[in-house]
Amino acid sequence: MNRRWRAAGVALAVAVAGIGVAPARADEGQARELLKEMSDYLAAQEVLSFTYDSDIEVVTADLQKLAFASTGTVSLARPDKIRVTRTGGFVDMEMVFDGKHFSVLGKDIDSYTQVELDGTIDDLVDRLRIDYGIAAPGADLLLSDVYDALMDNVTDVKDLGSGVIAGVECNHLAFRTEGVDWEIWIALGDAPYPCRYAVTSKLMALGPQYRIEFRDWKTGAEVAVDDFGFDPGSAIEVDIADLGGIDGVPDLTPEGEDQ
């Protein structure tokens, strides 16, 4: 483990011993610098791809917290092309953006939709969130300026030392806003890519969390060539408003009750 981790351990031992110490903000500047390094690294990658595993928690009307897991892939070519797949117990879908059109294929429901949407990946993420309530996996981490997007409204920053995700040693950082707490684990070394990203709501009962872990991270010539074409096959075209269920969460409304 690195020196920052040993220092954190000493600080904890001091706190347990009852000796007064300052709040854990001494490494705020370091945490911001590490996040900025990751942001700059991601922005510099013209093409990248990865596999992800994600969990989204929901809280039912009777305050039961449930988690739904899915897995998928992302291929990205800046500034305006991306392909996302997601497969889980309640979803099997593909989203493609080629700079001119945004297409979604629901393989499990044999339906697809396609809308005209000009612009960059940043434009796509904004339009999907604002107009359709759709978020790509770890969408904030796909933007051209991840640092500014993530640091918006942040009120507290902590450097928690190091952690290990799937055998990769990472810098572990924690941030707070009025509405959410979020953490990120960033790989050490010359390729500071995200290994895990977790967001916890502070405005909902039981604090549901969304977590995504990244693996098979590739950049440059390592990335398989993708023409970002879209083939709906024999699927039936529907309006985007009617293409439900692509977030991988089932309808938990009790039978006989309105949504």
Residue 20 has a pLDDT of 39
**pTM (two decimals):** 0.85
Q: What share of the chain in percent tops pLDDT 90?
A: 76
pLDDT-flagged residues of the chain (< 50) = 1-26, 256, 259
**Span 154-178, pLDDT tens digits:** 999 999 999 999 999 999 999 999 9
> Tokens 């305050």 sit at which residue?
63
**Helices and strands, number each (H, E), in the chain:** 4, 12
The pLDDT score that the predictor gives to residue 188 is: 98
- Neighbour order of strands in the sheet with 81-88: 156-165, 168-176, 180-187, 194-201, 209-219, 47-59, 65-77, 81-88, 91-97, 101-106, 111-116, 236-237
Distances (CA, A) of 243 to 6, 104, 132, 180, 194: 50, 8, 11, 28, 30
